[in-house]
Structure 1
Amino acid sequence: MHKEDNPKEAAIIVSKKYIKKGYALDFSIESLENEIDKILEKENPKDWIESAKLESELTAYIGETICQIFDAKWKGEYYSENSGMNFYTCKIEKNGFEFGPSHFVGYYLSNGKESEGSFEEYLHSRDYSKGIFYDFLGGGLINKISGKK
């Protein structure tokens, strides 16, 4: 991990921030299924700086939630101030499967829900997206990270 930025600590800060705004970011699977889509739909970044901040925040929260639920580990470097670097350096790993938590968020913020689908779909199926991740994960992230076919 990047010496100065800790995604676990960042995820806790992000959780508290969005709980104050009324979102249920409690590190549960339900928070991934329901709250990430709400945040992406309601917290519309006004410019690229806000977009990058939101991407970094959700990268930390999504990644740490998956680590806690599925006993996965952070791999690579996390940058709280440079979401673009997270696309290439920040991953979580479980049993040889690697996942970049920033990928979905980055594409969603660039292309929109119509192109990329919802995060809930990304977790479970990915069969509905018409964007770059169309069927990339087959049965969805949860099946891949938990080792199910």
Structure 2
Amino acid sequence: MPVNPVAPHRFKIPESVLVVVHTPALDVLLMRRADVAPGEFWQSVTGSKDTVDEPLAHTAAREVREETGLDPQAPGCRLTDWQLENVYDIYPRWRARYAPGVTRNREHVFGLCVPPDATVTLNPREHSAFVWLPYREAAGQCFSPSNAEACLLLPRFSKVTA
């Protein structure tokens, strides 16, 4: 039986992660999206589950690897589930990625503490630049309100997981 080389259209699952990548000194990694022009759209690592039953920690680790090249299981790294959830309206520009009628997304917040000398390798299809900023300054640069709020919560959650 011949294999169909054209995969069927697959909609994004409206459940995602937001991962605040940071150093012990609370400097936060922000990346500029490559698909928004002109771009001053800065964000942390984000991404949807690949399958409905994919564990959220796997989604978080996978997205970190895909977007930054960082390995959340590497020595000196610590991925933590902050047990926070945001529900928000999907921006109209991205709704076509979801099944018809889907307008809301459920986002789960994680933190990833990395050593200060961690090497970031961006996926150029997703991001065009990155910067490390003190957490308050990072919050001021985030396009997404939930991302800005997560940056501001970093001191609280970094103490809980230390």
Structure of greater Rg: 2
Fold agreement, TM-score > 0.5: no
Structure number with the higher helix fraction is 1
TM-score (norm 1): 0.28
Structure number with the higher strand fraction is 2
TM-score (norm 2): 0.27
